[in-house]
Amino acid sequence: MRKLILYPVVILTLIVLFSCGSEGAKTKVSGDDISGDLIVFHAGSLSVPFKEMAQAFEKEHPSVNVQLEAAGSVACARKITDLDRECDVFGSADYRVIDEMLIPDYADWNLQFAGNEISIVYNEKSRLADKINSKNWYEILQDDNVAFGRSDPNADPCGYRTVLSMKLAEKLYKIDGLADDVLSKDTKYIRPKEVDLIALLELGAIDYMFIYTSVAVQHTLKYIELPDSINLSNPKLAGWYRQVSTEINGKKPGDKITFYGEPIVYGATILRDAPNPKAALAFVKFMVSPEKGLAIMKKNGQTVIDPPVSGQMEKVPEELMNK
């Protein structure tokens, strides 16, 4: 019988070919190790905490390359649904964007993990900065010498939450037409996501902007704390918030999605066809860990939901609930 002799070079070649062919180019898994690119779409307001999370996560998993891409949450969802962009993890400033636009066709579950509030941000160069306060802010914004910015409701939850907050202000202060009067002013300063407005503020193109308090904290900006009845932060006021609503563009041309006022809640999911599902699961587990991701969120001015909750609890991976 002829003996089969494998020389060292042949053995090495076979090992390399087998390892490359069995796992694919993007993700290599050996035991509990993870590696490869991890694509994370996220809300603009998550840019600072997610950058810190990505750096800390890569220290734990040095073979993973976290690729962060920020946009308004609605715009992020449309990259997936309309542009067929690959994505592993999506962090949304409004959990409802995932429910309305991604479940059930693109994702199975949605984990609610953080909160925030709407505030009015400015700096020392803002006109009338020495006069604005939590009682007269809407009068200051209507001043002809003052300009303010906000984000696009059709691209960013902060945009439609600004509309909802103004409608709540109209009800709270009992001033007919207040919401329309404020929102119809300075529309040229509407931008795709709320963090785009920071540059306009720094350049002096605008004096004020509607933005999340966490972003003000992260960028050490001055801000006006709005009453809980307006800022969408208080779960106990859910009934009051729900009295107002607004519409944004839906999944298809001509479709509309109605968003009612609700306390601000962020959501995250792993896409059903995530190219790197093992790394995605590890990242979300890191994100909702009280000692890791949630601690980073707190440090950056956001409230957290611990433990996280979901409207699809039976579909959430067990590892995320037993963190």
For the chain, give every domain's residue range: 37-115+265-321, 118-260
Tell me, yes or no, if the two domains 37-115+265-321 and 118-260 fold the same way.
yes
Task: Identify the CATH homologous superfamily for domain 37-115+265-321.
Answer: Periplasmic binding protein-like II (3.40.190.10)
Per-residue confidence (pLDDT) for residue 253, from 0 to 100 = 78
Q: Give the type of residue at 168.
A: L
| Residue 117 pLDDT > 90 | yes
In this structure, are residues 202 and 126 in contact, taking their beta carbons and an 8 Å threshold?
A: no
Residue 166: closest CA among 141, 129, 147, 191: 141
Over residues 257-296, the pLDDT tens digits come to 999 999 999 999 999 999 999 999 999 999 999 999 999 9
Question: What kind of architecture, by CATH, is found in domain 118-260?
Answer: 3-Layer(aba) Sandwich (3.40)
Q: What is the mean pLDDT of residues 16-27?
A: 41
Over residues 72-90, the pLDDT tens digits come to 999 999 999 999 999 999 9
321 vs 322 pLDDT, higher one:
321
Q: 253 to each of 152, 177, 250, how far by Cα in Å?
A: 17, 29, 7
In this structure, are residues 91 and 268 in contact, taking their beta carbons and an 8 Å threshold?
A: yes
Angle, CA of 97, 40 and 150, to the nearest 5°:
50
Q: What is the mean pLDDT of residues 180-193?
A: 96
pTM attached to this predicted model:
0.87
